[in-house]
Structure 1
């Protein structure tokens, strides 16, 4: 008989991607692949594939609320990853429920735009995101366009401009920020900055040249939540998540899924 161990439970609150590369589907794959148990609350249904987002159907608020109550009242949820929330009403509901149930770790992926460029968060909801969810988050994980939207600054175009954004990141009402530098495609390195009030840690890997990056933000944030749920400290969780997503991107071309921007390989370890 195998030994019985209590598996840490991670809840993902996000939208569904019918193509399976991002959103809830990517989150469940990433959480499972890194050794945690994945539960989910679906906030929206997208008609989506590797070519883009065709349609978005927000889930009724009452059903989002019932999903949240169902999982929190039964499961020992250690960490929560938040992805696509679509509008201010959903943001406020999720914030209310997180304040009610108070999970130990909250990883907020500030999802605003899909890899394809499609808008996933109404611009009128950005204020609600900043006011209600940022103060609750253990860490937020914006890419450069999202960081620009959160701060009102211009999107950085080089490493020097990213450094100037660190001060603005510290002024946001959240505990830590992982500022992702993946959009600086001219660079041979893929640098992310883990920013706290007192320290900045640079996490650097060699840039992998591939168009198949669908779901990278969802996957990275879910993996951070998974490692936090397993008891790692923030720097360790983010570092291990960075290593995981780098390998998942590195194996993405082998999947050959779809005709557009394909997904990363969440289970690369099974294909080696």
Structure 2
């Protein structure tokens, strides 16, 4: 799939009540995605406004392809105001992870408090939570501040294969955060660690999603991109049994670093923009496909390069304050 086709498919995402005309319509883009607030007459009183705010609680990738760096690029590209609370610093590039420096749990808590108590939050993306005390701080914050639209990407293994989470953390993560998240978004390697066995084909995705949901999640987006084949198949399963398979043609690219981070942060951004979970997932997948296609031919580093997050940036959305 080429970048132009991927962009067209992203721009064509439907919305039930698109606003007529406007900047997005003039450019042939999806009006709801590309809408910008119309400026009032300069002499008219200005109503207070605010941005759509999304917080990433995750690790930092010094190479810029994954982690909070990918999250911030995604939030900005989708018209949201991004904020961060960093759980760990990684020495990382396109070849792998050479070091991890943990942020003390008390300082992580201070970051979250600083953001939430001043700016506020419309959605939260959770990424690399590598230690039990980090998970416990995040669980406290979700309850204490009643944080909305929490998307949990259980980051455990980097694209390079490097392990990013301590074994003893997995059980705490499941117990404390699966019930608190709107959706959990594991890839196949992460899902295998969570359910205790490998997922060896597309036919096994549904059963694995059932097992993940049984761990206490409200919804699971199981990503099947690591399976071989010309198509990429993901499964969205919600409590109550609502199940949807999402398929797309595989994009031939070595620049896949940060794909999972980008997808989960795009889901969080669309939830913050007011979409329900199924449509937020569909739109997030369309954005990732476009970013992958646009970055496929770009050389960054000697290993797995990043996506092109800025292939179709939009103005920052503003809402009545």
Relative to the length of structure 2, the TM-score reads: 0.81
Matches within 5 A, 1:60-209: 60-152=104-196, 154-184=197-227, 186-197=228-239, 198-209=241-252
Alignment partner for residue 232 of structure 1, among 254, 269, 275?
Answer: 275
Shift of residue 120 of structure 1?
0.6
* CA positional deviation for 1:248: 0.8
| 1:253 positional shift | 2.2
Shift of 1:254: 3.1
Equivalent residue for 2:19? none
8 Å Cα contact 1:44-1:58 kept in structure 2: yes
Unaligned runs of 5+ in 2: 1-37, 41-47, 314-321
> Which residue of structure 2 lines up, in the alignment, with residue 252 of structure 1?
295
2:210–2:237 Cα contact (<8 Å) kept = no
Structure 1 alignment gaps of length 5 or more:
none
Q: Distance in 1 between matches of 2:54 and 2:74?
A: 11
Q: Give a deviation string over 1:253-272, Cα, whole Å, max 9, x none.
A: 233111100001101126xx
Following the alignment from structure 1 to structure 2, what is the Cα–Cα distance between the partners of residues 133 and 168?
16
* Whole-angstrom distance in 2 between the partners of 1:219 and 1:182: 14
How far is the alpha carbon of 1:5 from its aligned partner? 4.7
Once residues 167 and 193 of structure 1 are traced to their aligned partners in structure 2, the CA distance between those partners, rounded to angstroms, is 10
Is the 8 Å Cα contact of residues 110 and 146 (structure 1) preserved in structure 2? yes
Q: Secondary structure at the match of 2:97?
A: strand
Secondary structure in structure 1 of the residue aligned to 2:76: helix
Q: How does 1:5-16 map to 2 (within 5 A)?
A: 5-16=49-60
Instruction: Name which structure has the greater RCO, CA cutoff 8 Å, separation 6+.
Output: 2
> In structure 1, what is the Cα distance between the partners aligned to 2:70 and 2:136?
24
- RMSD (CA atoms): 1.3
Deviation per residue, 1:22-41 (Å, 9 max, x gap) = 00100000011011110100
Q: Secondary structure at the match of 1:164?
A: helix
1:177-197 CA distance string (max 9 Å, x none): 00000010x211111111012
- 1:73-102: CA deviations, max 9, x gaps? 011201000000111111111111111011
SS at match of 2:82: strand
The CA deviation at 1:210 is 1.3
Instruction: For 1:77 and 1:61, locate their aligned partners in 2 and report how far apart those are by CA, in whole Å.
Output: 20
SS of equivalent to 1:66: helix
Where does residue 257 of structure 2 map in the other structure? 214
**Are the aligned partners of 1:169 and 1:195 in contact in 2 as well (CA < 8 Å)?**
no
Q: What is the rounded CA distance, in whole Å, between the counterparts of 1:113 and 1:170 in structure 2? A: 21
What CA distance in whole angstroms lies between the structure 1 residues aligned with 2:139 and 2:49?
Answer: 31
Aligned residues: 268
Contact (CA 8 Å) 1:87, 1:125: kept in 2 or not?
yes
